[in-house]
Amino acid sequence: MPDDAGRTLTLASPARRIVSLAPNVTELLYAAGAGNFVVGAVAYSDYPEAAKTIPRVGSGAGLDIEAIVALHPDLVIAWQSGNPSWQVERLIALGMPVFETEPRHLDDLADLLERLGRLAGTEAIAGKTAADFRRYLARLRARYSGRPVVPAFYQILDSSLLTVSRRHLLNDVIQLCGGRNVYADLPGLTPRVDVESVVQRNPEVILASGYDALWQEWRDRWRALPMLTASMRDNLFFIPPDLIERQSLRILDGSAQICTALEQARAKRKVPGNR
């Protein structure tokens, strides 16, 4: 079975002791019908509810290699850009069967779900769920992809102003909704920008995620820059991070919220005085 790092993983039998190294991977394993086989997961693996009781083997700050080894997994699912590469390589060196994931497009999520189902021997459940995901995605594409283009800035963090490039899955989401990522041209997955650059690129919409409690402060900071089209028209939208940044099947719910936000921005173009 090929993974997203270019390795081929072969299991003698379906995996029955799986360790998940990312919250989105945990969600996908449950969606694929393999939730009962997950014996270890990282912090913030909190969806579905049953995932909250899985023993923890690390967090975004790093993995607990000893805890993973002690679980005797027959499959470890890693997140290529979210886990420290040296720790993933350490697991491989210890003889662990590691499968790395890195979806870059929305269609990749359905494909990944099916591959996880094959690894766990739950192909029927995974196949049905993947088909449902593809139908939902097709409906969103049919409704929004042909709409007038809206220049958009996606803000991951407020303090350091991280955004996404064309290589990131969220660039695909913006395009799905008929938007244009104003930072698609930057290198890397999540480049850092500054306020001056945002003003220069002048997005019509600013999409932000992070902690909901901080959103009012973030919104006020952008509103203090009325030269921005997004600020002038109050096209400032918060998207819950669990729905848009986890790279799980729920990303289509977050995508629908982004599509709605861009539609609101298009409607404001018709207001007298707006250009």
Fold of 18-134: Rossmann fold (3.40.50)
pTM comes to 0.91
| pLDDT for position 209 | 82
Size (the chain), residues: 275
Q: How far is CA 143 from CA 37, 154, 177, 186, 252, in A?
A: 38, 21, 8, 29, 13
Percentage of the chain exceeding pLDDT 70: 96
Which class is domain 146-268?
alpha beta
Confidence of residue 215 (pLDDT cuts 50, 70, 90): confident
Least confident of 5-9, 59-63, 101-105: 59-63
pLDDT given for residue 145 in this prediction: 85
Q: Highest-confidence range of 159-163, 203-207, 241-245, by mean pLDDT?
A: 203-207
Q: What's the pLDDT tens digit per position in 162-173?
A: 999 999 999 999
Predicted local confidence at residue 60, as pLDDT: 74
**214 φ, ψ (degrees, to nearest 5):** -95, -5
DSSP-derived 3-state class of residue 54: coil
Show Cβ contacts of residue 26 under 8 Å, excluding neighbours closer than 6 positions: 20, 38, 41, 42, 45, 47, 51, 54
Average pLDDT of the chain? Answer: 93
In this predicted structure, what is the pLDDT of residue 98? Answer: 97
Upper half-sphere CA count for residue 3 (Cβ side, 13 Å): 20
**Domain spans of the chain?**
18-134, 146-268
Strands (E), the chain: 18-20, 38-41, 58-59, 62-63, 75-79, 98-101, 150-155, 179-181, 205-208, 236-238
pLDDT of residue 184: 97
Establish whether the linkage from the previous residue to 103 is cis, with ω within 30° of 0: no
